[in-house]
Amino acid sequence: MRFKQCNPIKVAVKYRCYSPTALTNAYQAVREENMSVRRASIQYNVPMQTLRDRVLHKVDPETVRSGPQPLFSEEEEALFVNNLKYMASLGYGYTGPEVIAKASNYAVHLGKRSKDQPLSEKWYSGLKSRWPKLKTLSPRALAKERAQATSEPVVNSYFENHHTILLANDLLDKPECIYNFDEKGVQTEHRPPKVVAEGVHAVPAITSPRSSVTTILGL
């Protein structure tokens, strides 16, 4: 007679049943109130070994997430992310693979990885979860010539010349004699790839158009 073997019922078990606040309070009770680790563990309902690791500085007391810690420290990662945002604001944003490549070189520079240990998509996903304001956006194309024409010295020179013209034609107090026109440059053959930037507004992507720009003047 053969008996059919039944598969055991899988029960989902919560990995962590305590709040980060409880762990912080237990740590402070041990360090500041001289409470024993065992008593603080029972009182605040946190794992004894988890609390002991923080008291003995085996784990950073501020760490509340499980699993391996990020490769970069908070300061190192903040510098890296700020650079991503800055380059995107200038029109030179990085794509996802470029971000991974830049971070890999950064890790090698800091001595945290060797050249044959590049970072992975998993690291990139973790970065975006730690910095939720980082988004993958479709930038608006901005020709190199237009980018150069909007530099700070060029813009300042424009307004200085504009003020001179208003003075020369006695128009400073006659706004009804000044008309504003807007123009739009359209590039029909080039679409820049999505880049990583702070998800607040659309960022430009400086490109070299393969065709002439069509200008539309709105009246």
What's the CATH code of the domain at 35?
1.10.10
Residue 50 and residue 115 in one domain: no
Residue 28 and residue 124 in one domain: no
Other Cβ atoms within 10 Å of 79 Cβ, number: 12
Higher-pLDDT residue of 159, 9: 159
Q: Does residue 206 sit in helix, strand or coil?
A: strand
Residue 214 and residue 113 in one domain: yes
Look at residue 21 in the predicted model and tell me its pLDDT: 80
Look at residue 100 in the predicted model and tell me its pLDDT: 93
In a domain, 8, yes or no: no
Residue 62 and residue 83 in one domain: no
Look at residue 206 in the predicted model and tell me its pLDDT: 55
Task: Let me know: does 211 contact 189? Beta carbons within 8 Å.
Answer: yes
Q: Does residue 209 sit in helix, strand or coil?
A: coil
Residue 137 and residue 106 in one domain: yes
Task: Let me know: does 46 contact 22? Beta carbons within 8 Å.
Answer: yes
Q: Which domain holds residue 121?
A: 72-150+178-219
Residue 85 and residue 39 in one domain: no
Lowest mean pLDDT among 29-43, 59-73, 162-176, 189-203: 189-203
Residue 41 and residue 110 in one domain: no
Task: Give start and end residues of each alpha helix (H) in the chain.
Answer: 20-33, 37-44, 48-55, 74-89, 96-109, 121-130, 144-149, 152-168
Residue 141 and residue 192 in one domain: yes
Residue 20 and residue 79 in one domain: no
Higher-pLDDT residue of 125, 69: 125
pLDDT digit string, tens, across residues 22-65: 888 888 899 889 999 999 999 998 888 888 888 887 776 666 55
Look at residue 13 in the predicted model and tell me its pLDDT: 47
In a domain, 40, yes or no: yes
Residue 186 and residue 130 in one domain: yes
How far, CA to CA in Å, does 207 sit from each of 52, 117, 146, 179, 201?
55, 32, 10, 31, 19
In this structure, the strands spanning 214-218 and 182-186 are: antiparallel
**Cβ-Cβ contacts under 8 Å for 219 (sequence gap 6 or more):** 181
d(CA 101, CA 95): 10
Tokens 């995107």 sit on residue: 88
How far, CA to CA in Å, does 136 sit from each of 77, 131, 187, 204, 206?
18, 12, 22, 13, 17
Domain count of the chain?
Answer: 2
Look at residue 37 in the predicted model and tell me its pLDDT: 92
Q: Which token pair is 190?
A: 């080039």
